[in-house]
Protein backbone atom coordinates (compact mmCIF):
# COMPACT_ATOMS: atom_id res chain seq x y z
CA UNK A 1 0.00 0.00 0.00
CA UNK A 2 1.42 3.38 -1.04
CA UNK A 3 0.11 6.56 0.54
CA UNK A 4 1.24 9.74 -1.15
CA UNK A 5 1.83 13.03 0.63
CA UNK A 6 1.51 15.90 -1.84
CA UNK A 7 4.88 17.58 -1.34
CA UNK A 8 4.52 20.86 -3.19
CA UNK A 9 4.57 23.01 -0.05
CA UNK A 10 3.45 22.72 3.57
CA UNK A 11 3.81 20.33 6.49
CA UNK A 12 4.64 17.24 4.47
CA UNK A 13 7.15 15.56 6.81
CA UNK A 14 4.74 15.60 9.76
CA UNK A 15 2.13 13.80 7.65
CA UNK A 16 4.67 11.24 6.44
CA UNK A 17 5.49 10.45 10.07
CA UNK A 18 1.80 10.29 11.08
CA UNK A 19 1.01 7.90 8.21
CA UNK A 20 4.03 5.70 9.03
CA UNK A 21 3.00 5.57 12.72
CA UNK A 22 -0.61 4.78 11.80
CA UNK A 23 0.47 1.95 9.48
CA UNK A 24 2.65 0.50 12.27
CA UNK A 25 -0.14 0.75 14.84
CA UNK A 26 -2.52 -0.99 12.40
CA UNK A 27 0.09 -3.70 11.61
CA UNK A 28 -0.23 -2.92 7.91
CA UNK A 29 2.43 -3.26 5.26
CA UNK A 30 2.70 0.04 3.46
CA UNK A 31 4.61 3.27 3.20
CA UNK A 32 4.17 7.00 3.06
CA UNK A 33 5.89 8.68 0.17
CA UNK A 34 6.26 12.29 -0.93
CA UNK A 35 4.73 12.90 -4.37
CA UNK A 36 5.27 15.87 -6.67
CA UNK A 37 4.73 14.58 -10.21
CA UNK A 38 1.85 13.11 -12.18
CA UNK A 39 3.69 9.79 -12.44
CA UNK A 40 4.19 9.62 -8.67
CA UNK A 41 0.56 10.55 -7.95
CA UNK A 42 -0.64 7.91 -10.41
CA UNK A 43 1.21 5.20 -8.43
CA UNK A 44 -0.37 5.82 -5.00
CA UNK A 45 -3.39 4.14 -3.42
CA UNK A 46 -4.36 7.20 -1.35
CA UNK A 47 -3.28 10.82 -1.07
CA UNK A 48 -2.82 13.34 1.74
CA UNK A 49 -3.22 17.01 0.79
CA UNK A 50 -1.35 18.65 3.67
CA UNK A 51 -1.67 22.01 5.33
CA UNK A 52 0.35 24.91 3.98
CA UNK A 53 -0.58 27.86 1.79
CA UNK A 54 -3.58 26.88 -0.31
CA UNK A 55 -3.11 29.45 -3.10
CA UNK A 56 0.53 28.42 -3.58
CA UNK A 57 -0.26 24.70 -3.56
CA UNK A 58 -3.20 25.13 -5.95
CA UNK A 59 -1.31 27.39 -8.35
CA UNK A 60 1.73 25.11 -8.47
CA UNK A 61 -0.49 22.05 -9.01
CA UNK A 62 -2.31 23.86 -11.80
CA UNK A 63 0.94 24.93 -13.48
CA UNK A 64 2.31 21.37 -13.26
CA UNK A 65 -0.91 19.84 -14.60
CA UNK A 66 -1.59 17.99 -11.35
CA UNK A 67 -5.08 19.31 -10.52
CA UNK A 68 -6.75 17.30 -13.27
CA UNK A 69 -4.81 14.15 -12.40
CA UNK A 70 -5.69 14.41 -8.70
CA UNK A 71 -9.35 15.12 -9.55
CA UNK A 72 -9.50 12.09 -11.86
CA UNK A 73 -8.01 9.86 -9.14
CA UNK A 74 -10.52 11.18 -6.59
CA UNK A 75 -13.39 10.63 -9.04
CA UNK A 76 -12.22 7.04 -9.53
CA UNK A 77 -12.44 6.40 -5.77
CA UNK A 78 -8.97 7.12 -4.42
CA UNK A 79 -9.14 8.00 -0.69
CA UNK A 80 -7.98 11.55 0.11
CA UNK A 81 -7.25 13.31 3.39
CA UNK A 82 -7.33 17.10 2.99
CA UNK A 83 -5.87 19.04 5.90
CA UNK A 84 -6.40 22.81 6.33
CA UNK A 85 -5.03 24.04 2.97
CA UNK A 86 -5.92 20.59 1.62
CA UNK A 87 -9.53 21.19 2.69
CA UNK A 88 -9.42 24.53 0.86
CA UNK A 89 -8.06 22.83 -2.27
CA UNK A 90 -10.86 20.21 -2.19
CA UNK A 91 -13.64 22.78 -1.78
CA UNK A 92 -16.00 24.22 -4.36
CA UNK A 93 -15.83 27.90 -3.40
CA UNK A 94 -13.53 29.92 -1.15
CA UNK A 95 -13.73 33.34 0.42
CA UNK A 96 -11.18 35.19 2.49
CA UNK A 97 -12.04 37.12 5.63
CA UNK A 98 -10.19 40.18 4.29
CA UNK A 99 -10.39 40.04 0.48
CA UNK A 100 -13.73 38.30 -0.15
CA UNK A 101 -14.23 35.60 -2.80
CA UNK A 102 -11.01 34.18 -4.20
CA UNK A 103 -10.21 32.95 -7.68
CA UNK A 104 -7.63 30.40 -6.56
CA UNK A 105 -7.35 27.02 -8.31
CA UNK A 106 -9.55 24.36 -6.65
CA UNK A 107 -10.29 20.66 -7.15
CA UNK A 108 -14.01 21.19 -6.45
CA UNK A 109 -14.26 17.62 -5.11
CA UNK A 110 -16.45 18.72 -2.18
CA UNK A 111 -19.64 20.75 -2.51
CA UNK A 112 -18.63 23.09 0.29
CA UNK A 113 -18.12 26.82 0.65
CA UNK A 114 -15.52 27.95 3.13
CA UNK A 115 -13.71 30.94 4.53
CA UNK A 116 -9.92 30.89 4.72
CA UNK A 117 -8.22 32.01 7.94
CA UNK A 118 -11.63 32.04 9.58
CA UNK A 119 -10.32 32.21 13.14
CA UNK A 120 -7.78 34.93 12.31
CA UNK A 121 -4.06 35.20 11.75
CA UNK A 122 -1.27 32.90 12.96
CA UNK A 123 -1.21 34.46 16.44
CA UNK A 124 -4.80 33.32 16.95
CA UNK A 125 -3.95 29.65 16.39
CA UNK A 126 -5.29 27.36 19.11
CA UNK A 127 -5.93 23.80 20.27
CA UNK A 128 -9.36 22.52 21.24
CA UNK A 129 -10.78 19.12 22.06
CA UNK A 130 -13.29 18.12 19.39
CA UNK A 131 -15.47 15.10 18.69
CA UNK A 132 -15.50 13.05 15.50
CA UNK A 133 -18.12 10.55 16.72
CA UNK A 134 -19.38 9.80 13.21
CA UNK A 135 -16.06 8.10 12.39
CA UNK A 136 -15.56 6.51 15.81
CA UNK A 137 -13.30 9.15 17.38
CA UNK A 138 -15.10 10.56 20.44
CA UNK A 139 -12.26 12.88 21.53
CA UNK A 140 -9.48 14.42 19.49
CA UNK A 141 -7.11 17.31 20.07
CA UNK A 142 -7.79 19.70 17.19
CA UNK A 143 -4.81 21.91 16.31
CA UNK A 144 -6.10 24.95 14.42
CA UNK A 145 -3.50 27.09 12.60
CA UNK A 146 -4.93 29.90 10.44
CA UNK A 147 -7.77 27.46 9.96
CA UNK A 148 -10.62 27.70 7.49
CA UNK A 149 -14.22 26.95 8.41
CA UNK A 150 -16.98 25.62 6.22
CA UNK A 151 -20.07 27.81 6.03
CA UNK A 152 -22.09 25.63 3.68
CA UNK A 153 -21.84 21.88 3.06
CA UNK A 154 -24.01 19.97 0.59
CA UNK A 155 -23.89 16.23 -0.06
CA UNK A 156 -21.28 15.79 2.66
CA UNK A 157 -21.36 14.38 6.17
CA UNK A 158 -20.44 16.91 8.86
CA UNK A 159 -17.95 15.33 11.26
CA UNK A 160 -17.17 18.18 13.66
CA UNK A 161 -18.04 21.74 14.57
CA UNK A 162 -16.78 24.46 16.85
CA UNK A 163 -19.86 26.42 17.80
CA UNK A 164 -21.63 26.77 14.43
CA UNK A 165 -18.41 26.52 12.40
CA UNK A 166 -17.99 23.25 10.48
CA UNK A 167 -14.42 22.01 10.92
CA UNK A 168 -14.42 18.53 9.35
CA UNK A 169 -16.44 16.76 6.65
CA UNK A 170 -16.58 13.44 4.83
CA UNK A 171 -17.87 12.49 1.40
CA UNK A 172 -17.37 8.95 0.15
CA UNK A 173 -13.61 8.38 0.56
CA UNK A 174 -12.73 12.04 1.12
CA UNK A 175 -11.99 13.25 4.65
CA UNK A 176 -11.29 16.97 5.05
CA UNK A 177 -10.33 18.79 8.24
CA UNK A 178 -9.75 22.44 9.14
CA UNK A 179 -7.41 21.27 11.91
CA UNK A 180 -4.03 19.51 11.69
CA UNK A 181 -4.35 15.88 12.85
CA UNK A 182 -0.67 15.25 12.11
CA UNK A 183 0.24 17.65 14.96
CA UNK A 184 -2.10 16.14 17.57
CA UNK A 185 0.13 13.31 18.79
CA UNK A 186 -2.78 10.97 17.97
CA UNK A 187 -3.00 8.92 14.76
CA UNK A 188 -6.77 8.25 14.96
CA UNK A 189 -7.69 10.40 11.94
CA UNK A 190 -4.85 8.99 9.83
CA UNK A 191 -5.85 5.43 10.83
CA UNK A 192 -9.45 6.08 9.82
CA UNK A 193 -8.22 7.48 6.49
CA UNK A 194 -5.97 4.45 5.88
CA UNK A 195 -8.96 2.21 6.64
CA UNK A 196 -10.71 3.68 3.58
CA UNK A 197 -8.13 2.19 1.20
pTM score of the predicted model: 0.95
The string of DSSP codes covering 22-69 is: HHHHTT---EEEEE-SHHHHHT-SEEEE-SS-HHHHHHHHHHTTHHHH
Q: Which residues of the chain have pLDDT under 50?
A: none
pLDDT of residue 74: 97
Alpha-carbon distance 58 to 56, whole Å? 6
pLDDT of residue 18: 97
pLDDT of residue 9: 84
CATH code at position 83: 3.40.50.880
| Backbone CA torsion sign across 12, 16, 19, 22 | negative
pLDDT of residue 27: 98
Alpha-carbon distance 16 to 67, whole Å? 21
Distant-in-sequence, close-in-space partners of 108: CB < 8 Å, separation ≥ 6: 71, 90, 91, 92
pLDDT of residue 97: 75
pLDDT of residue 59: 87
Domain count, the chain: 1
Q: How far is CA 151 from CA 65, 122, 180, 181, 186, in A?
A: 29, 21, 19, 21, 27
- Over residues 60-71, the pLDDT tens digits come to 888 889 999 999
pLDDT of residue 10: 76
Q: Could you list the residue range(s) of the whole structural domain that residue 169 is in? A: 2-194
Catalytic residues: 84, 180, 182
pLDDT of residue 55: 84
pLDDT of residue 105: 92
Amino acid sequence: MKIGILSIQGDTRENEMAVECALQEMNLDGKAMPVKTAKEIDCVDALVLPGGESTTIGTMCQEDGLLGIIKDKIDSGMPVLGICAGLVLLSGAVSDKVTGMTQQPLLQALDVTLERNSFGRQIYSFEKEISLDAIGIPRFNGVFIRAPTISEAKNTEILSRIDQNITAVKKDKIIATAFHPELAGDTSVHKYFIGLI
